[in-house]
Structure 1
Amino acid sequence: MEASEFPQRLYTKGGEPLPDKSISYYAGDYRLVPSLRQALREDGWADIYESLLGVFLKFHDLDFGWASRLVHHMLTFQIVCNQRYELHSLIVTTPVRFSLHEFEEITGLNCGYVNDLALADLEISDDMRVFREQMGVNMELGPSTFEIIEACSNCSSWSRDDRLRLRYLGIYAGFIVATETISPKNANHARLVVDLEGFKEFPWGRIAFKHLIKSVKEKDLSKNINIEGFVQALQVWVYYALPDFAAEFGEPLPNDPNPLLSYKGSRGRKNVKANMLKHLLSGLGSCEKQIKLLSDKVEAVEHAVEELTTGTAKHTDEEVKDNVEPS
């Protein structure tokens, strides 16, 4: 497909915002996981760690290297996309998509469909009232990451289930819808934690993706920005989409089928853009040679057929065969 057939670039080629501005994030606040681990001690930690939502804890334990420039370049390569919850980047002539499908493949989270994703009609149960009073937060607002961290230091007398609820709230606030530490989170989603099994089965992957991509599309990449949500998934997406580049720059880890846990990431890499393009140009060069070779053969065959059809052919059968059959 010719490059001109793709939609218009989001930024004019050569006029993309330079990656001298930082992309910061709130996901995985450095105080959160140690606080939650301490709050739970050892009881219940393994159950959470091996659940679907435990992928965030495993990712945190990797000490993944955030590469702002890499994500910045991928976002400036965007082409215009009318889909509200998708973005597409054009690397040379190769389009790369980031949608709910890719997010689900990368994270392994439950991204299933539910009719009421916002839980608009969820009532406040008596158990929820008791739990929220124990936490000391406003009933009408969702807890902030800061309030969850504070509660971790005061929960030693809580029941095991309430400490598990606090842990899951930490994952929700600190990774799934990660925002500024002091900002309250969605109250309806927080109320779901009273039902521990229901909370674990809820499609949090869909919530996480929606929150992340909305934040990305609202940002001006010419400025220093903070992206809400689990932004590290965007960097893993680059490695997932460009495996040759990832093999050299993503510090791949062996034996983990989950893409989110397959890389250590990278810090301080220079010439990121050039190397991203190099790993695709190397591939395209070979393709272009093959296309040129096939085009030459087709042209020769068409010429031979034309001469035979018009009766002016002077070629032997062997000469025509040489033109038709690939060498």
Structure 2
Amino acid sequence: MRKYPRRLYEVGKTPVQNRSMNHSCYLSNIQTVREELGEDVWSELRESAIGVIVKLKELPYIWSAKVVHHFLADQLAIESSHEIWSLINDSMPLQFWLEMNVPTSDGPTLLELQAILPICRNWPREKRVMIGLLCLLSIGIFGISSNSRIPLHCAKRVMDTAAFQ
């Protein structure tokens, strides 16, 4: 059994506002998600737990990801100020990752998700919703570059609607 440093934040506590992640958040990427997944999925994404990102996209002003505070609640307290360590859930995602052609040991990247968009139009609605939620996580919540992976423990949450909400 490995010993890891203690958590930086207590479980369920919000990270402090003065620490943030590197953001490459471009809400313009969300338009492609809307066009490729369809209006029925778009409406459901708008009403989801992270639908605020959709609503921000629809507002007539420019939104900066710099207002988003540090999101990784599982961050560990380490001595280096140039590294971030987070707890990773050790369970593997289900077959959905294989359908998306994403490694089962990692969360997907926005580039991988964008490659799926043209081929998922005929997938069941619940799978298209999961793809949309993953896109919104990458673009709006994490604001990471398009070739960076969504943390697996966060990406897997889209597979259980109740847990995600």
Q: Give the alignment's TM-score, normalised by structure 1.
A: 0.36
Q: What SS does the corresponding residue of 2:138 show, helix, strand or coil? A: helix
**Letter of the structure 2 residue corresponding to residue 62 of structure 1:** L
* CA distance in structure 2 between the aligned counterparts of 1:66 and 1:37, rounded to whole angstroms: 18
Describe the SS at the equivalent of 2:94. Answer: helix
Residue matched to 2:91: 123
Higher helix share: 1
Gaps of 5+ in 2: 1-21, 75-85
CA offset at residue 167 of structure 1? 0.6
Q: Quick one: higher RCO (CA 8 Å, sep 6+), 1 or 2? A: 2
Residue of structure 1 equivalent to 2:33: 36
How far apart, CA to CA, are the structure 2 residues paired with 1:122 and 1:43?
34
> 2:27, 2:112 → 1: CA distance?
13
After TM superposition, give the deviation of residue 170 of structure 1 in Å: 0.8
- What is the CA–CA distance in structure 2 between the aligned matches of 1:65 and 1:143, rounded to whole Å? 27
1:130-145 aligned at under 5 Å gives the runs 130-145=95-110
Q: After TM superposition, give the deviation of residue 48 of structure 1 in Å.
A: 1.9
Q: Distance in 1 between matches of 2:113 and 2:125?
A: 16
Structure 1 residue 56, shift from structure 2 partner: 0.5
CA distance in 2, matches of 1:175, 1:134: 24
**1:149 alignment partner AA:** Q
Q: Determine if the alignment matches structure 1 residue 55 to structure 2 residue 23.
A: no
Shift, 1:59, TM fit: 0.6
TM normalised by structure 2 equals 0.66
d(CA) in 2 for partners of 1:193, 1:162: 9
Matches of 1:153 and 1:63, distance apart in 2: 28
**Contact persistence 2:89–2:152 (CA under 8 A):** no
Aligned residues between the structures: 131
Q: Which runs of 5+ in 1 are unaligned?
A: 1-23, 72-97, 104-110, 201-327
C-alpha deviation, 1:52, in angstroms: 3.3
Question: What CA distance in whole angstroms lies between the structure 2 residues aligned with 1:170 and 1:121?
Answer: 21
Aligned to 1:65: 62
Structure 1 vs Structure 2 CA RMSD: 3.0
1:102-159: CA deviations, max 9, x gaps? Answer: x6xxxxxxx9x89xxx6634522xxx43211111111112111111111111102211
Identity percentage of aligned residues = 23
Structure 1 distance, partners of 2:122, 2:88, is 32
- What is the CA-CA distance between 1:53 and the residue it aligns to? 0.9
Residue 162 in structure 1 maps to residue 127 in structure 2: yes
Q: Distance in 2 between matches of 1:51 and 1:66?
A: 20
Q: Distance in 2 between matches of 1:62 and 1:136?
A: 34
- Does 2:25 align with 1:27? yes
Mapping of residues 1-327 of structure 1, within 5 Å: 25-30=23-28, 32-65=29-62, 120-121=88-89, 123-124=91-92, 128-200=93-165
Tell me the distance in 1 between the aligned counterparts of 2:125 and 2:87: 26
CA offsets, 1:171-191, max 9 Å, x none? Answer: 111111111111122112111
Contact 1:35 1:153 in 2 (8 A): no
Which residue type is aligned with residue 26 of structure 1?
S
The ranges of structure 1 where at least 4 consecutive aligned residues each deviate by more than 4 angstroms after the TM superposition are none
